[in-house]
Amino acid sequence: MQFKSLPGFREFYPEDCAVRNFIFARWRESARRFGFQEWDAPALEPLELFTEKSGEEIVSQLFNFEDKGGRKVSLRPEMTPSLARLVAARAGSLRHPIKWFGIGENYRYEKQQRGRLRAFYQYNADILGEPGCAADAEIIALCVESLHAFGLSENDFCIRLSDRTLWFLFLENIGVPDEATAVKVLSVVDKLERVAHEGLVEMMTAALAGTPLDPAETLATVREFVALKSLDALNAFFSDRSGAEKALARLEEWKKLLGLLEALGVGAFVRTDLTIVRGLAYYTGFVFEAFQLVGEGRALAGGGRYDKLVKKLGGPEMPAVGFGMGDVTLRNLLEQQTLLPQIVDAPDFYAIILGEENRAEALSDVAVLRDCGFRVEYAFKDGKFGKLIQTAEQTGARYALIYGTNELALGVVKVRDTQERREIAFPRENLAGTLAEILERGLPVIEEPHCRGDGSCGHCTCGKHE
Ligand code: HAM
């Protein structure tokens, strides 16, 4: 019987791990350039950390169970509630603003499809302790830079910027009576791009139950609102409406944020897009998604401001803003745009040991070279020279080190360039220094003074007539 991994869970063969490491390294470099520090938390958490805070959609996707001690637990579907708990526990002693990033595996019981799995890695970056839009600007700029670092440009992705505060002010202005109803209307807005008109009217009817508002009319007004694609258009829209002073004041914040994003050099990536409201329950202000523009349009990252979560988890009032970026859609996009580099995972040297009696001597050199930081491999069993050379070439090592009886008697080792297929003998003394130079400059080209090019001189190392 052959065991299979669970649906939606990936296995990482070495070549996949190499890609994963490459992606994580770029994420880490970007976050560090912005002065963020790395954090982590357990992948298994108390269930209630998510049932209370994450919102319906995620709760329906939890990998939860009871552990052997009778505790209700869940694999994390996201990292934000854990982050809020960590910060809440040490809020008094942490230097503000807190700028943290983390990379971890998350689990969601979703229907598996292209770009969506049940286990995926997510890179999170968050700023806590800063209420002003300077923090939103910094987070959005980091989100852009973290994608730009892979060579992705404004032709490949954009940031769709929206604002739950503005949404609430708009819904209040059109007569939605309270926040609870507004939240229900926003969950309809979240489906605007995915559900047909009739379905949306039905959902809107349910959302507006008990209010005097007409569902079809409200949907039409909502569509008019999401069609506004610039700050100027939003200003014009609210200037024409009575009682929209708070919304107009909020647009001043938009102006500030867009100015900062321009100054940080990422303005070209940002588009006003009110269809983004975010599925997670805790967002309070500006929200955004990094969206791929080529191929299938998919979210590469999502985030926004969540000013109430830390307090809900027992901490003090703590404004916060952040994003999460998944590895699945990003890897697909990098492959599609041929932006994944050829990742070479080869040893520096491959030692060819000819004769078991020479193994101990050769391995003592291998140990020294490894101590010096070189990556060295060798065959565990004795074999024919040709076969060992072939193995050396297959590992991708640029140089083979040949240890035969003759070489050891002379106190030398032959260094063979596996691509050019030529070799030169060097003293074993200070081998590490010699090899460091060869790695940097290549095998020296030595013209043999007496070489006639036909092998008759007997000591030719030019490799032309082996
Ligand atoms: P989210 O929008 O649920 O936000 O997820 C963020 C990103 O994680 C998505 O844009 C996508 O790239 C990736 N992702 C989500 N679900 C899956 C899945 N099933 N398979 C593959 N990739 C997936 C959050 O999780 C928030 N906690 C982000 C955040 C951090 N907000 C503030 N700070």
Six token digits for residue 372? 């010096």
Percent of the chain with pLDDT over 70: 95
Whether the per-residue pLDDT at 457 is higher than 60: the answer is no
Average pLDDT, the chain: 93
Most confident range, picked from 31-45, 181-195, 334-348: 31-45
pLDDT at residue 172 is higher than 70: yes
Q: Best mutation site among 85, 122, 283 for ligand 1, i.e. most ligand atoms within 8 A of its Cβ?
A: 122
Ligand 1 atom index nearest CA of 77: 25
Residue where the block lists tokens 């074999």:
383
Q: What is the dihedral of CA 57, 59, 60, 63, to 10 degrees?
A: 130
Question: Cβ(289)–Cβ(275) under 8 Å?
Answer: no
**In the prediction, which pLDDT does 466 show?**
44
**Quick one: pLDDT at residue 193?**
86
Long-range contact pairs involving 259-262 (C-beta distance under 8 Å, separation at least 24): 260/133, 260/134, 260/137, 261/137, 261/140, 261/141
Domains of the chain: 14-336 (3.30.930.10), 349-441 (3.40.50.800)
The CA distance from 43 to 45, in Å, is 6
Q: Which residue's CA lies nearest to atom 18 of ligand 1?
A: 116
Question: Going by C-beta distance under 8 Å and a sequence separation of 6 or more, which residues neighbour residue 427?
Answer: 411, 412, 434
Token pair 């901490």 is found at 315
Report the pocket of ligand 1 as residue ranges, CB < 6 Å.
Answer: 78, 80, 108, 110, 116-117, 120, 122, 124, 126, 280, 299-303, 322-326, 328-329
Record the tokens describing residue 265, joined without a space: 């050099």
Cα–chain-centroid distance for residue 49?
Answer: 24
pTM for the complete prediction? 0.91
Residues near 156 by Cβ (< 8 Å), separated by ≥ 6?
Answer: 147, 292, 293, 294, 333, 337
Q: How does residue 454 score in pLDDT terms, banded at 50, 70 and 90?
A: low
Identify the pLDDT of residue 455: 55
For residues 159 and 287, the answer to whether their CB atoms sit within 8 Å is no
pLDDT band at 255 (very low <50, low <70, confident <90, very high): very high
pLDDT-based confidence at 112, cuts 50/70/90? Answer: confident
At residue 128, φ and ψ (nearest 5 deg) are -120, 145
Compute φ and ψ for 188, nearest 5 degrees: -75, -45
For the segment 308-364, what is each residue's pLDDT rounded down to a tens digit? 999 998 899 999 999 999 999 999 999 999 999 988 889 999 999 999 999 999 999
Given a contact cutoff of 8 angstroms between Cβ atoms, the answer to whether 403 and 426 are in contact is no
